């Protein structure tokens, strides 16, 4: 297939386009229903369904994190793209719930995959993060500086919820989605994007950390949100972002077969559809089953849209995100990949081997480091040197 090997079957212009050639998602098994939530905060299933469209969400288990969910989604995406982890040039992870401030979740996933030739970094743009990351990766591919990139949106929002705050805890859930972008000479792929921010709204939706200047009355490492303000912001910018993005690509709304929006609230989608005068069925929605999974919501919705065969080769689709920052972003994609191509069995075995190799390499590297440290500490010559330099330091003081 043309999109799987850069320049193998293209128009021969030498110009690089960035195509999505692989996709995957991973969600925790544990389901938290509205009724479950109403057992510990004052709310009820009817209120949540009517005000948000959400029925249930997934909650990460103790051993799951943004890194493990992102890794599993990435493995599915590599499978669909039928490429090896060593073919990746770049891994970008959009997340607001990393395990560490650093190292980046992208570096953990890079190591677990055995993507030994890839650069890796995290991108923080809250619920718009996945669209920002797609644009960054596509720009790098279009500029010719790289051929293959993995973009992941992954979150464990349940870990930053204040489970006593009924206005936020009913909304969020955990999960991950990933796509592989690959260079091709075949026109299409990521055509144009619009990235925007309005930091004046930084106090409307945030997770203050230990380095915050003024956490105020808010809890550290817990999310707070001025829900109705964010709602108004979303319904103001999403349709505008979509129109600006289409303008940039030289397309009309009628050219778009599906909009895959950030899944925050069904009422937001209904309002945007009304403003754009589009049938609500032109919007992918799965908020009912997963709630708001922040940076993961768009790739999860994209995977399910493909599974439901709502995207076909040559379709134009729009991905649109909005959230903390405040940020918003839209990107328009001309889809080329068939949704049901079978990956080669030979590559599947090689991928499996590389994942196992990556696990052993990590263990051996860590063991080697511990051994080196031990030998260094036991080295008598080093001890003598240390005693001497201690004496020299005493002389200086
Ligand atoms: O991913 C980032 C982007 N995030 C979003 O897009 C979220 C946008 N915001 C929203 O989705 C909505 O604003 C919420 C779902 C968060 C809230 O819905 P709302 O219709 O804006 O409700 P509200 O905050 O204006 O509150 C209305 C009433 C209040 O009661 P009073 O003051 O009118 O008596 C709330 O206390 O609803 C009450 N309320 C609840 N009642 C039952 C708020 N949360 C709940 C609840 N259960 N869970």
Does the annotation count 127 as an active-site position? Answer: yes
- Ligand 1 in reach of 110 Cβ (< 6 A): no
- When pLDDT is averaged across residues 363-385 and rounded to a whole number, the result is 86
The protein residue whose alpha carbon is closest to atom 20 in ligand 1 is: 51
Confidence band of 212 (pLDDT split at 50, 70, 90):
confident
Distances (CA, A) of 361 to 114, 153, 358: 9, 26, 5
Residue 364 domain flag: no
Confidence band of 344 (pLDDT split at 50, 70, 90):
confident
Reading phi first (left if > 0) and then psi (alpha if -120 to 50, else beta), residue 178 is in: beta
The protein residue whose alpha carbon is closest to atom 5 in ligand 1 is: 264
Residue 299 domain flag: yes
Write the CB contacts of 152 (distance below 8 Å, at least 6 apart in sequence).
70, 73, 74, 91, 92, 93, 94, 95, 106, 109, 133, 176, 177, 178, 299
Closest ligand 1 atom, residue 170 Cα: 48
- Ligand 1 in reach of 227 Cβ (< 6 A): yes
Pocket residue to mutate for ligand 1, from 228, 234, 290, most atoms within 8 A of Cβ = 228
The protein residue whose alpha carbon is closest to atom 3 in ligand 1 is: 323
Q: What is the pLDDT of residue 389?
A: 62
Segment among 31-35, 78-82, 121-125, 337-341 with least mean pLDDT? 337-341
Write out the residue range of the structural domain in which residue 18 sits. 2-345
Q: What is the pLDDT of residue 211?
A: 86
Confidence band of 216 (pLDDT split at 50, 70, 90):
confident
CATH of the domain at 244: 3.40.47.10
Residue 354 domain flag: no
Q: What is the pLDDT of residue 390?
A: 57
48-67 confidence digits (pLDDT tens): 999 999 999 999 999 999 99
Confidence band of 387 (pLDDT split at 50, 70, 90):
low
* Residue that wins the pLDDT comparison between 177 and 219: 177
Q: What is the pLDDT of residue 343?
A: 79
Asked if the model's pLDDT at residue 317 lies above 50, the reply is yes
Asked if the model's pLDDT at residue 396 lies above 50, the reply is no
- When pLDDT is averaged across residues 159-173 and rounded to a whole number, the result is 97
Residue 264 domain flag: yes
- Ligand 1 in reach of 265 Cβ (< 6 A): yes
Does the annotation count 262 as an active-site position? Answer: yes
Asked if the model's pLDDT at residue 299 lies above 50, the reply is yes
Q: What is the pLDDT of residue 345?
A: 81
Distances (CA, A) of 284 to 106, 215, 344, 388: 27, 36, 30, 70
Residue 129 domain flag: yes
Of residues 72, 76, 292, 316, which has the active-site annotation? 292
The protein residue whose alpha carbon is closest to atom 4 in ligand 1 is: 264
Does the annotation count 169 as an active-site position? Answer: no
Residue 370 domain flag: no
Q: What is the pLDDT of residue 210?
A: 86
Pocket residue to mutate for ligand 1, from 124, 155, 167, 206, most atoms within 8 A of Cβ = 167
Cα–ligand 1 centroid distance for 51 (angstroms):
7
Asked if the model's pLDDT at residue 322 lies above 80, the reply is yes
Residue 168 domain flag: yes
Segment among 25-29, 75-79, 375-379 with least mean pLDDT? 375-379
Segment among 244-258, 272-286, 361-375 with least mean pLDDT? 361-375
- Ligand 1 in reach of 330 Cβ (< 6 A): no
Is the distance from CB of 262 to CB of 322 less than 8 angstroms? Answer: yes
Residue 32 domain flag: yes
Is the distance from CB of 188 to CB of 334 less than 8 angstroms? Answer: yes
Asked if the model's pLDDT at residue 5 lies above 70, the reply is no
- When pLDDT is averaged across residues 170-190 and rounded to a whole number, the result is 97
Q: What is the pLDDT of residue 386?
A: 64
Q: What is the pLDDT of residue 259?
A: 98
Q: What is the pLDDT of residue 13?
A: 66
Asked if the model's pLDDT at residue 192 lies above 90, the reply is yes
How many distinct structural domains can be found in the chain?
A: 1
Q: What share of the chain in percent tops pLDDT 90? A: 85
- Ligand 1 in reach of 228 Cβ (< 6 A): yes
Q: What is the pLDDT of residue 380?
A: 75
- When pLDDT is averaged across residues 33-51 and rounded to a whole number, the result is 97
pTM greater than the 0.75 cutoff: yes
Give 3-state DSSP helix, strand, coil % of the chain, rounded to 5: 45, 20, 35
Asked if the model's pLDDT at residue 337 lies above 90, the reply is no
Closest ligand 1 atom, residue 43 Cα: 47
Closest ligand 1 atom, residue 167 Cα: 44
Of residues 127, 169, 245, 303, which has the active-site annotation? 127
- When pLDDT is averaged across residues 110-122 and rounded to a whole number, the result is 97
Q: Other C-beta atoms within 10 Å of 348: how many?
A: 13
């Amino acid at each position: 297939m043309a999109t799987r090997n850069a320049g193998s079957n293209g128009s021969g212009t030498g110009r690089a386009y960035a195509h999505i050639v692989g996709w995957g998602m991973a969600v925790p098994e544990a389901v938290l229903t509205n009724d479950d939530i109403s057992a510990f905060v004052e709310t009820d299933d009817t209120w949540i369904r009517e005000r948000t469209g959400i029925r249930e969400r997934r909650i990460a288990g103790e051993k799951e994190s943004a890194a493990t969910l992102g890794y599993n989604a990435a493995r599915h995406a590599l499978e669909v793209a039928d490429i090896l982890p060593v073919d990746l040039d770049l891994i970008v992870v959009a997340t607001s719930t990393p395990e560490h401030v650093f190292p980046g979740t992208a570096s953990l996933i890079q190591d677990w995959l055995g993507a030994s030739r890839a650069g890796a970094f995290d991108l923080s743009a809250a619920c718009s993060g996945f669209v920002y990351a797609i644009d960054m990766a596509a720009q790098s591919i279009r500029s010719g500086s790289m051929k293959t990139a993995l973009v992941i949106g992954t979150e464990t929002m349940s870990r930053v919820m204040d489970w006593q705050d009924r206005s936020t805890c009913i909304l969020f859930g955990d999960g991950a989605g990933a796509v592989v972008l690959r260079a091709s000479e075949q026109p299409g792929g990521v055509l144009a994007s619009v990235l925007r921010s309005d930091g004046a709204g930084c106090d409307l939706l945030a997770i203050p950390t230990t380095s915050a200047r003024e956490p105020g009355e808010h809890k550290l490492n817990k999310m707070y949100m001025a829900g109705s303000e964010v709602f108004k912001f979303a319904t103001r910018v999403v349709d505008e972002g979509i129109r600006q993005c289409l303008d940039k690509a030289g397309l009309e709304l009628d050219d778009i077969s599906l909009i895959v929006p950030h899944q925050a609230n069904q009422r937001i989608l209904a309002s945007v559809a009304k403003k754009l005068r589009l049938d609500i069925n032109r919007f992918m929605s799965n908020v009912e089953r997963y709630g708001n999974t922040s940076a993961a919501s768009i790739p999860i919705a994209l995977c399910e849209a493909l599974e439901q065969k709502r995207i076909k080769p040559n379709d134009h689709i729009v991905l649109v995100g909005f959230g903390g920052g405040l940020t918003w972003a839209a990107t328009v994609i001309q889809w080329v990949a068939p949704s049901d191509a079978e990956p080669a069995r030979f590559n599947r075995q090689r991928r499996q081997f590389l994942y196992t190799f990556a696990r052993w390499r990590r263990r051996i590297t860590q063991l080697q480091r511990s051994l080196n440290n031990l030998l260094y500490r036991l080295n008598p010559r080093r001890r003598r040197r240390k005693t001497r330099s201690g004496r020299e330091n005493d002389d200086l003081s």
